[in-house]
Structure 1
Amino acid sequence: MLGQTHRGFTLVEIVAVMVVLGIVSLGVSRYIGTGTQIYADAVARDRLLGDSRFVVERINRELRGALPNSVRVSGNSNTGHCIEFVPVVWSSVYFDIPVAPEPASDTFDIVSWDPVSPDRYFYESQHEVVIYPVTANDVYISPLHRIGLATEPSVSSNVATLTLEAEHRFATDSPSARVYIVDTPVSFCVVAGRITRHANYGFFAAQPLFPNAGEVVAEHNANTLSNVAGNTFGDPFTVTPATLTRNAAVVVLLKFAQSGESITFYNEVHQPNVP
Structure 2
Amino acid sequence: MRPWERILLLQQSRPTSENGFTLIELVISIVLVGIIAGIIGPIIFYGTEGYRQQVTRKELVSRARLALERMSREMRESVPNTVRVSTTNQSNDTVEFGHAVFFSHYNSITGGSSPYTLNDDTGLTPPSTSFIVIYNVSPDDFYAYPSSPSTFQVAGVSGSQVSINASSKPHSSTKRYQMCTGGITYSRNNSGELIRYSGYDPGQAHETSASDQDILIDHVSSIQFQYTAGTLSNTALLTIVLQVSAGGETMNFHQEVHIRNVP
TM range (shorter): 0.7 to 0.9
After TM superposition, give the deviation of residue 168 of structure 1 in Å.
5.6
After TM superposition, give the deviation of residue 128 of structure 1 in Å.
0.8
Q: Tell me the residue number matched to 2:183.
A: 185
CA RMSD of aligned residues (A): 2.7
Q: Tell me the residue number matched to 1:2.
A: 8
Q: Which of 225, 229, 244 is 1:237 aligned to?
A: 225
Q: Tell me the residue number matched to 1:163.
A: 163
After TM superposition, give the deviation of residue 71 of structure 1 in Å.
0.5
After TM superposition, give the deviation of residue 208 of structure 1 in Å.
5.0
Question: 1:105-156: per-residue Cα shift (whole Å, max 9, x none)?
Answer: 4322112347xxxxxx66252x1111000111221114332222234441xx
Question: 1:202-222: per-residue Cα shift (whole Å, max 9, x none)?
Answer: 2226x6568xx9422223333
Q: How does 1:1-275 map to 2 (within 5 A)?
A: 2-3=8-9, 4=11, 5=13, 6=15, 7-77=19-89, 80-98=92-110, 103-113=113-123, 123=127, 125=129, 127-141=130-144, 142-154=147-159, 160-164=160-164, 166=165, 169-171=168-170, 173-192=171-190, 193-204=192-203, 214-223=213-222, 236-275=224-263
Question: Which of structures 1 and 2 has the bigger CA Rg?
Answer: 2
Do 2:188 and 2:194's aligned partners in 1 also have CA atoms closer than 8 Å?
A: yes
Q: Describe the SS at the equivalent of 1:184.
A: strand
| Structure ranking higher on relative contact order (CA contacts 8 Å, 6+ apart) | 1
Structure 1 CA distance for aligned equivalents of residues 21 and 91 of structure 2: 73
Q: Describe the SS at the equivalent of 2:29.
A: helix
Structure 2 CA distance for aligned equivalents of residues 11 and 19 of structure 1: 12
Aligned-residue sequence identity (percent) comes to 27
Do 1:190 and 1:236's aligned partners in 2 also have CA atoms closer than 8 Å?
A: no
The more displaced of 240-249 and 74-83 is 74-83
Higher strand fraction (1 or 2):
2
Structure 2 CA distance for aligned equivalents of residues 167 and 237 of structure 1: 33
Structure 2 CA distance for aligned equivalents of residues 185 and 201 of structure 1: 6
The more displaced of 70-79 and 174-183 is 70-79
TM-score under structure 2 length normalisation: 0.81
Question: 1:184-232: per-residue Cα shift (whole Å, max 9, x none)?
Answer: 1000013443322111132226x6568xx94222233333xxxxxxxxx
Structure 1 CA distance for aligned equivalents of residues 227 and 110 of structure 2: 32
Structure 2 CA distance for aligned equivalents of residues 216 and 146 of structure 1: 28
The AA in structure 1 aligned to 2:150 is: H
Q: Describe the SS at the equivalent of 1:200.
A: strand
Structure 1 CA distance for aligned equivalents of residues 256 and 138 of structure 2: 20
After TM superposition, give the deviation of residue 80 of structure 1 in Å.
4.3
Give the gaps of 5 or more residues in structure 2.
1-6
Structure 2 CA distance for aligned equivalents of residues 47 and 60 of structure 1: 20
Do 1:198 and 1:215's aligned partners in 2 also have CA atoms closer than 8 Å?
A: yes
TM-score under structure 1 length normalisation: 0.78
Alignment length, in residue pairs?
245
Structure 2 CA distance for aligned equivalents of residues 98 and 113 of structure 1: 17
Do 2:115 and 2:155's aligned partners in 1 also have CA atoms closer than 8 Å?
A: no
Question: 1:11-52: per-residue Cα shift (whole Å, max 9, x none)?
Answer: 111221122123223433332222111110100111111111
Do 1:144 and 1:170's aligned partners in 2 also have CA atoms closer than 8 Å?
A: no
